[in-house]
Amino acid sequence: MKHLILVCLSLVFSALAGVHAALAVPKVAIMPFDIRDVEIEGDPFAKPKATDIARMQLVAEELKKLMETSKLYEVVDLAPFAADIEKAAPFNKCDACEVEIAKKAGADLAVTGFVDKLSDALISLQLFVRDTATGEMKKTMSAEIRGNTDELWLHGIRYLWKNRFNAGVDKK
């Protein structure tokens, strides 16, 4: 009888562990966004404008907030990896180096963002998602922004989140 109870308890705990694994959401590392600004291209001493840097941080934070509130993803803390991130940046030129950083942070997915600023009136916001286990590109997406304001950049990231990032995801 004691053996039967142990077997039953073992089956119950195994079932609960399976349910927990099924409920686990992917862990995501969102890297700092990169920018190419045509206005300063070719000038080796030029830096992106402070307003553009602030907007890249704004949209990255908005993406984190959207992920966390959706409960579809868990955003990992990258603060302990700041030195690795600084060394690897810009991510659009490092040949998937974000994958190793994300993997060290315990993430299943690595997200990078890129802003292609042709002018203040024509901006492209792009997101790239890689699987940290394989390095495979899972998703790429882009939104065009017609204007250079916080609200327009936020509209762009919200559009990508709603219409591209979660395309095909079951939102139970």
| CATH number of the domain encompassing residue 37 | 3.40.50.10610
Give exposure, 138-161, as e/b (b: 16+ Cβ within 10 Å).
Answer: ebebebebeebeeeebbbbbebbb
Q: Is residue 148 part of a domain?
A: yes
Q: Is residue 11 part of a domain?
A: no
Q: Is residue 170 part of a domain?
A: no
| Stretch among 79-88, 124-133, 160-169 having the lowest mean pLDDT | 160-169
Provide, for the chain, the percentages of residues in helix, strand and coil under a 3-state DSSP scheme, each rounded to the nearest 5.
45, 25, 30
Q: Is residue 144 part of a domain?
A: yes
| Predicted confidence band of residue 14 (pLDDT cuts 50, 70, 90) | low
Q: Is residue 1 part of a domain?
A: no
Counting the structural domains of the chain, the total is 1
59 C-beta neighbours (distance < 10 Å), count: 23
Give the mean pLDDT of 51-80: 97
CB 115 within 8 A of CB 34: yes
Is the per-residue pLDDT at 91 higher than 80? yes
Q: Is residue 78 part of a domain?
A: yes
Sole residue written with tokens 């399976």:
18
Q: What is the pLDDT of residue 5?
A: 58
Q: Is residue 4 part of a domain?
A: no
pLDDT per residue over 19-60, tens digit each? 444 469 999 999 999 999 999 988 888 899 999 999 999 999
Domain membership of residue 40 as a residue range: 25-165
Q: Is residue 8 part of a domain?
A: no
Q: What is the pLDDT of residue 16?
A: 47
The whole-model pTM stands at 0.83
